[in-house]
C-alpha cells in the first residue's frame, strides 16, 4: 500500500520510535537496551510500521553525526534534547511524502510558547492575564489593537483573563473560538475536539461550522467544528496540574495512568485487569517514578520497568 494512503501512527508511537532512534544513533546501546528495543519492535504492528518508515529514510537520517546524537543524549532531560526528538518526528513525517504530517506537531516546534512532556509553564501576559501551559502544550500569542488571541496548537491551558474593555480575549482551537468574559477556565485538545472547564465567570463558545453557546461557572463542554457535546459539571481536579499535582477521587487506575503518561517520557501501560482498580489520592508531579512506587504500596499492582521509557502496571496476584 502506498504510504500516502496508510493510516497515521499515534503520536505516542512516533515519540517512542524517536527515542529509540536517538539511542541507535548514539552507538552506545547496551545489551539491556537492545533487548528492550527488540521487545518494543515486536510488541505492536504499529511499532514495526513506523520503524520501517525510518529505515526508508536512512539517507536523510544518516546525515546526523553520531557525535551530535551523543551530545544530545548526554543533556537528558534538557529542553534541547526534547526539541531534537520532536524535530526527528517531524522529519519522519515530511520524509515519507506527508506520512504522519497531520499527526505531528510541526507547528508546535515554532510556537511562541511550548512545553515538553513533563514540563509546565506559568506566564503573565501583557494584559495581566495568567496563562498556565500543561505538559506537551504549544500556543501562539497574538495581541493586537482589536483583540487578544491565544492559539492553542496542542495540549492544555489554564487561563485567568485580564481586564481590557476594548479588546476581547479569545482562545482559538482547531474546533473554534472560546471568548473569555471575565473568567478562569481550562481548554484541552481532546478526542478530535476541544474541552472547556469553566471555573469562574462566563465564556462564549463558537464552533467553526455551527451556532455557539455560553457556559456558566461550574460547567464543562466538549465541542468540535460541527457540533456541541452535552453539558457536564466542570472537574475542579482537572486543573490540579497547574499546581504540580494529580488528584484522583475513586478514579479508575487506567484513566489515572493515562493522565500520568502525559507527564513522563516514553510508554506507560496499564494491564486490563488493573485498569478498573479505583484510586484516591493527591500525587506530586515532580517525580513520576515516586508516584508509580506509591501505587504499588496502595493498590494490588506491580510496576515493571523494561527501561526507564517503557513501564507496565499490572495486577498483582
Q: What is the pLDDT along the chain (317 residues), one digit of tens a residue?
A: 344 445 555 667 777 777 787 777 666 678 888 888 899 889 888 888 888 776 665 444 444 444 444 444 444 445 545 555 555 555 555 444 333 333 434 466 668 898 988 999 999 999 999 999 999 999 999 999 999 999 999 999 999 999 898 999 999 999 999 999 889 999 999 878 999 999 999 999 999 999 999 999 999 999 999 999 999 999 999 999 999 999 999 999 999 999 999 999 888 999 999 999 999 999 999 999 999 999 999 999 999 998 888 999 999 87
Measured CA to CA in angstroms, residue 292 lies from 268, 287, 299 at distances of 10, 9, 11
- Specify the pTM: 0.68
The alpha carbon of residue 156 and the mean position of all alpha carbons in its chain are separated, in whole angstroms, by 8
What does the pLDDT look like over 258-315, one tens digit per residue? 999 999 988 899 999 999 999 999 999 999 999 999 999 999 999 999 888 899 999 9
> Do residue 140 and residue 229 come from a single domain?
yes
Domain end marker among 86, 104, 122: 104
Nearest CA to 122 out of 239, 216, 290 is that of: 239
CB-based contact 100:8 (threshold 8 Å): yes
Clarify whether residues 28 and 88 are in a common domain.
yes
| Residue 66 grid cell | 553520531
**DSSP β-ladder status, 176-190 and 310-315:** unpaired
Domain that holds residue 97: 3-104
149 and 194 in a common domain: yes
pLDDT at 101: 38
3-state secondary structure of 279: strand
For residues 77 and 140, membership in a common domain is answered with: no
Structural domain ending residue among the three candidates 186, 201, 236: 236
Query: Can you give the pLDDT at residue 180?
Result: 94
Domain holding 269: CATH number? 3.55.50.30
pLDDT single digits (tens) 74-92: 444 455 455 555 555 555 5
Residue 174 DSSP class: S
Closest CA to 262 of 159, 156, 158, 171: 156
Give yes or no: residues 122 and 224 share one domain: yes
Amino acid at each position: 500500500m502506498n504510504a500516502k494512503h496508510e493510516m497515521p501512527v499515534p503520536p505516542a508511537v512516533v515519540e517512542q520510535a524517536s527515542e529509540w532512534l536517538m539511542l541507535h544513533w548514539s552507538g552506545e546501546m547496551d545489551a539491556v537496551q537492545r533487548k528492550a528495543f527488540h521487545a518494543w519492535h515486536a510488541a505492536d504492528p504499529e511499532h514495526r510500521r513506523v520503524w520501517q518508515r525510518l529505515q526508508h529514510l536512512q539517507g536523510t537520517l544518516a546525515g546526523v553525526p553520531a557525535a551530535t546524537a551523543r551530545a544530545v543524549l548526554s543533556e537528558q532531560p534538557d529542553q534541547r534534547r526534547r526539541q531534537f526528538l520532536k524535530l526527528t518526528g517531524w522529519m519522519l513525517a515530511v520524509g515519507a511524502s506527508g506520512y504522519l504530517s497531520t499527526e505531528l506537531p510541526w507547528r508546535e516546534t515554532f510556537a511562541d510558547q511550548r512545553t515538553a512532556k513533563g514540563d509546565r509553564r506559568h506566564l503573565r501576559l501583557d494584559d495581566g492575564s495568567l496563562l498556565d501551559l500543561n505538559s506537551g502544550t504549544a500556543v501562539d500569542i497574538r495581541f493586537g489593537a482589536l483583540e487578544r488571541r491565544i492559539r492553542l496548537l496542542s495540549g492544555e491551558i489554564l487561563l485567568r483573563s485580564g481586564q481590557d474593555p476594548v479588546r476581547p480575549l479569545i482562545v482559538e482551537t482547531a474546533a473554534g473560538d472560546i471568548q473569555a468574559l471575565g473568567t478562569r477556565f481550562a481548554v484541552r485538545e481532546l478526542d478530535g475536539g476541544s474541552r472547556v472547564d469553566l471555573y469562574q465567570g462566563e465564556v462564549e463558545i463558537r464552533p467553526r461550522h455551527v451556532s455557539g453557546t455560553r457556559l456558566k461557572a461550574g460547567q464543562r463542554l466538549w465541542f468540535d467544528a460541527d457540533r456541541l457535546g452535552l453539558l457536564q459539571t466542570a472537574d475542579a481536579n482537572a486543573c490540579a496540574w497547574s499546581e504540580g499535582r494529580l488528584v484522583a477521587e475513586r478514579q479508575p487506575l487506567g484513566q489515572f495512568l493515562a493522565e500520568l503518561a502525559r507527564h513522563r517520557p516514553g510508554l506507560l501501560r496499564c494491564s486490563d485487569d488493573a485498569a478498573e482498580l479505583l484510586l484516591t489520592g493527591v500525587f506530586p508531579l515532580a517525580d513520576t517514578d515516586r508516584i508509580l512506587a506509591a501505587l504499588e504500596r496502595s493498590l494490588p499492582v506491580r510496576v515493571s520497568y523494561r527501561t526507564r521509557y517503557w513501564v507496565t502496571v499490572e495486577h498483582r496476584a
